[in-house]
Structure 1
Amino acid sequence: MKFKSTRGKTGSVSLSEAIRAGQAADGGLFMPEQLPVSDYGKADTSGGLAAFATHFLTPFFDSDPLADSLPEICAEAFDIAVPEIALAEDMSVLELFHGPTGAFKDFGARFLMACLDRLGDAAHPFTVLAATSGDTGGAVGCAAEGRLAARAVILYPDGRVSPFQAHQLSCWNAPVTTLKIAGDFDACQALVKAAFADPDLTRRYPLTSANSINIGRLLPQAAYIAFAAARHVANAGRKPGIIIPTGNLGHGVGALIARACGAPLGPVILATNANAALHDWAKTGTFQPRPSISTIANAMDVGAPSNFERLDAPSLSVGDLKVERVPDDAIRARIKTDYGRLGYIWCPHSACAAEAYARLSPAKRAEHDWLIAATAHPFKFAEIIEPIVGKAIESPATLSAVLERKANARQCDASPAALAAKLAELEKQPA
């Protein structure tokens, strides 16, 4: 299988080449030239997620240098529980936060770093740049720790993540470096894109991305969404719709890829916070990036979603795609209401999806069962949630272990020159 840029100004490349590059040379994002289609409504999910993901992803790895390693990559990346918990007759929560950093990003980060470690050279390792609005960086740092052929540089917006997230972003051992950027997430993302656009930096280090702009992050997301949909059909006999909190749109595109490949998914609903670029596009047909707005669902504070241009891929159908915009007051109200009504506690991001479900008309709800993607453990946002629900949130063992680590982040200005200087410092250190 070959992959091409969304902007169509470069030639096709293999999957390994696309993962190495992160972003295409013309500034676009890699997508498969043609998506493989199968009837996953009849797929066997009894062997678990890793086995299903291996089967689902095999066509994408066809004739690629990583093809023989795919089963062990999947075994390493998907060794995480993905429970579906029924909360109502027609609605279940898909808990995606049982990995080591308590967020759905663990799947994609572990998968990507496993690929890069097999593609890289310990004598001249990849430098993986990860701009993060909260959860990506922690997952990447955890997945990168101890690697030999890839090191991670995490960029997060100083003062715009929760206290737990700030600790989790900066507590990983070599070869991980964390930079506190004086700016918002869009500034972090712009620094990563500027670095990729600099041929000297890209050649010198070499650089690749761990954000969802990297196809190596999207494919595992598509795999677990396809698994969840197929499992639901096997257990309940009905094709589910899915509601996904989204910021940079990677998770949403992952769901669309899964559906286009034959996963038994009905409508896809994207739930955003107060940042309105996607919502306004869905209403008007015009995409207008804008500065990000700070919200309590901070991992979704994205004003210019990078994955938007992937929606133009001819193989993806966006006809049955809806976007709901959920401001902070509605997030708080949904957390309070559903805790009182259902006894379930949402993180602020998952609460956006729960609110989108609550806004569905009775007729729309009746058309499908609904899966709500719960993307982060609520403990990571205890300072927001505990006053709303009036109780302390217990920390899972994985997140308690994170707090026992020592945090160490370096300050960095939001300029390409400042980032280049930090990369030069890393070059003098052992990988």
Structure 2
Amino acid sequence: MKYYSTNKNSESVSLRDAVIKGLAPDKGLYMPEVIKQLPPAFFHNMKEMSLREISFIVAEAFFGEDVDAGDLKKLVDETLNFDIPLVKVSDRIYSLELFHGPTLAFKDVGARFMARLLGYFMNRESRQTVNVLVATSGDTGSAVANGFLDVPGIKVYVLYPKDKVSKIQEMQFATLGKNITALEVDGTFDDCQSLVKKAFLDKELNEAVKLTSANSINVARFLPQSFYYFYAYAQLAKEQKDPENLVFSVPSGNFGNITAGLFAKRMGLPVKRFIAANNRNDIFLQYLRTGRYEPRPSVTTIANAMDVGDPSNFARVLDLYGSYEAICKDVSGASYTDEQIRETLARVLKVDGYLLDPHGTCGYRALEEGLQPDETGIFLETAHPSKFLETVESITGAQVVIPLRLQEFMLGSKQSLSMPVDFGAFKHFLMNQNK
């Protein structure tokens, strides 16, 4: 299958080139030329299928023309060696717990799949080192770093904003060493993302160094996130025969996750609508209200992974729907302050006995406020609450148990390197690393 740029000023490329390049030469994001409809029998039989079985069929629709079926099945099986439970939280509201992977965050799915897909392509050509650049506002860095750890022929550079990610998140990628380098940028997530984008567009750098991105701008990172939307529907179908009027509420930062859900709907998944749940960084909500997309500098919140002032995947949403009016038919928005997040997180634990993290809290509250009487809602609980230990404990007054795998990260030594918000310095660093 070919992949085209959202800016329409670059030639279409193969899956291999889209994965390795990450960003198109015209600064656009790659999109598959065809989004295949899945057959009705698949949706009828899903409730009897496992997560891996469902994911393989969805993966075939995206990648089957470019990856041998046996290899693709292996990629899916190795990626999804953990469960994704659907838990009822309150009346008609369910949590899709995406934090049961190695780094306890939803990004484990996309990061692990991309690492294996990139390795698949690299094993079929010369072993030139590929440099993976990833900007993170929290969980992306840990998921990518751990997904690519010790993968031959690949170096990973994680750019993260100084003092703007939680300590546990930082230690998950800043302590690894080996082929993982953590760069502590003296700025915001948007500054980190800007450095990454500029690197892809610098001709001299790209002639000297082979670069790709593991942010959700990369098709191999965001497309696999569609797997769990199908699986969520299948789990709900076991409880409710042929679920109708299903609403997904998605904590949204860079919009890769909700874009994957919109792709699932386009492939035939019976979803009525989506809610993009934001913190105070409500650029998309303002777009829905005014029809104008006006990026602005991000502000720091307790839901830090959503602190994004210019979501990259908005370009994909607009390309997928073609117009403001079409987007508004499928997607609504919500935005919450830190105070609202705190109130909701504490109340849900007290009333329903369910412990949210600050990001999932936004998704829950959006359903609580916006779900219609005939609708069923699923919000994406994107990270384990212990990854935001101080915040969650200060809100609830209760001790949060830290899973063993997170405790092990905390025993490591931080190995970050400082980086200014200066592309010249970043370029010089990368050139020297690849001499």
Using the size of structure 2 for normalisation, the TM-score is: 0.94
Equivalence for 1:69:
71
* Cα shift readout 1:252-282 (whole Å, capped 9, x = no counterpart): 1011001111112221111000012111001
Q: 1:172 aligns with which of 163, 168, 176?
A: 176
Q: 2:136 aligns with which of 119, 132, 139?
A: 132
Q: Determine if contact 1:122/1:150 at 8 Å carries over to the other structure.
A: no
Q: 2:432 aligns with which of 403, 425, 428?
A: 425
What letter corresponds to residue 72 of structure 1 in structure 2?
A: K
Equivalence for 1:214:
218
Q: 1:338 aligns with which of 332, 341, 348?
A: 348
Q: Determine if contact 1:3/1:30 at 8 Å carries over to the other structure.
A: yes
Q: Determine if contact 2:281/2:309 at 8 Å carries over to the other structure.
A: yes
Equivalence for 1:248:
254
What letter corresponds to residue 241 of structure 1 in structure 2?
A: V
Equivalence for 1:375:
382
Report the more deviating stretch, 418-427 or 206-215.
418-427
What letter corresponds to residue 21 of structure 2 in structure 1?
A: A
CA distance in 1, matches of 2:359, 2:8: 34
Using the size of structure 1 for normalisation, the TM-score is: 0.95
Q: Determine if contact 2:205/2:431 at 8 Å carries over to the other structure.
A: no
Cα pair distance change 1:63/1:357, threshold 3 Å: closer
CA distance in 2, matches of 1:77, 1:173: 22
**Secondary structure in structure 1 of the residue aligned to 2:341:** helix
Q: After superposition, where does 1:352-363 map in structure 2 within 5 Å?
A: 352-360=362-370
> Over the residues paired in the alignment, what is the CA RMSD in angstroms?
1.6
**Secondary structure in structure 2 of the residue aligned to 1:305:** coil
**Secondary structure in structure 2 of the residue aligned to 1:330:** helix
Cα pair distance change 1:89/1:276, threshold 3 Å: closer
Q: Determine if contact 1:177/1:409 at 8 Å carries over to the other structure.
A: yes
Q: After superposition, where does 1:121-160 map in structure 2 within 5 Å?
A: 123-160=127-164
Cα pair distance change 1:66/1:288, threshold 3 Å: farther
How much does 1:315 deviate? 5.7
Equivalence for 2:295:
289
How much does 1:17 deviate? 1.5
How much does 1:314 deviate? 4.1
Q: Determine if contact 2:348/2:354 at 8 Å carries over to the other structure.
A: yes
* Cα shift readout 1:209-260 (whole Å, capped 9, x = no counterpart): 0000001111110111122123322432213211110100111101100111
Report the more deviating stretch, 96-105 or 30-39.
30-39
Q: Does 1:18 align with 2:24?
A: no
CA distance in 1, matches of 2:424, 2:320: 38
**Secondary structure in structure 1 of the residue aligned to 2:229:** helix
How much does 1:66 deviate? 5.7
Equivalence for 1:31:
31
Q: Determine if contact 1:129/1:152 at 8 Å carries over to the other structure.
A: yes
What letter corresponds to residue 32 of structure 2 in structure 1?
A: P
What letter corresponds to residue 175 of structure 1 in structure 2?
A: N
Equivalence for 1:323:
333
Equivalence for 2:413:
406
Q: 2:209 aligns with which of 201, 205, 218?
A: 205
How much does 1:339 deviate? 0.8
CA distance in 1, matches of 2:185, 2:294: 25
* Cα shift readout 1:336-376 (whole Å, capped 9, x = no counterpart): 1101111111111111111111212xxx4322211110001
What letter corresponds to residue 60 of structure 1 in structure 2?
A: F
Report the more deviating stretch, 287-296 or 418-427.
418-427
Report the more deviating stretch, 393-402 or 301-310.
393-402
* Cα shift readout 1:257-314 (whole Å, capped 9, x = no counterpart): 0111111222111100001211100111110000000101001000000110111224
How much does 1:125 deviate? 1.7
CA distance in 2, matches of 1:9, 1:265: 33
How much does 1:201 deviate? 1.6
**Secondary structure in structure 1 of the residue aligned to 2:360:** helix
How much does 1:150 deviate? 1.9
CA distance in 2, matches of 1:296, 1:157: 14
**Secondary structure in structure 2 of the residue aligned to 1:293:** coil
Cα pair distance change 1:117/1:76, threshold 3 Å: same
Q: Determine if contact 2:249/2:366 at 8 Å carries over to the other structure.
A: yes
> Structure 1 stretches of 5 or more lacking a match?
none
Q: Does 1:100 align with 2:102?
A: yes
* Cα shift readout 1:44-73 (whole Å, capped 9, x = no counterpart): 343421221111110212331465521111
CA distance in 2, matches of 1:375, 1:347: 8
Q: Does 1:6 align with 2:3?
A: no
Cα pair distance change 1:217/1:403, threshold 3 Å: same
* Cα shift readout 1:154-207 (whole Å, capped 9, x = no counterpart): 000001111212212302232111100010000000000000001222232200
CA distance in 2, matches of 1:139, 1:124: 24
CA distance in 2, matches of 1:343, 1:103: 21
CA distance in 1, matches of 2:126, 2:398: 48
Equivalence for 2:279:
273
Report the more deviating stretch, 328-337 or 236-245.
236-245
Equivalence for 1:310:
316
Equivalence for 2:396:
389
How much does 1:104 deviate? 0.4
Cα pair distance change 1:68/1:2, threshold 3 Å: farther
CA distance in 1, matches of 2:47, 2:237: 10
How much does 1:2 deviate? 1.6
Give percent identity, aligned residues only: 34
CA distance in 1, matches of 2:379, 2:67: 36
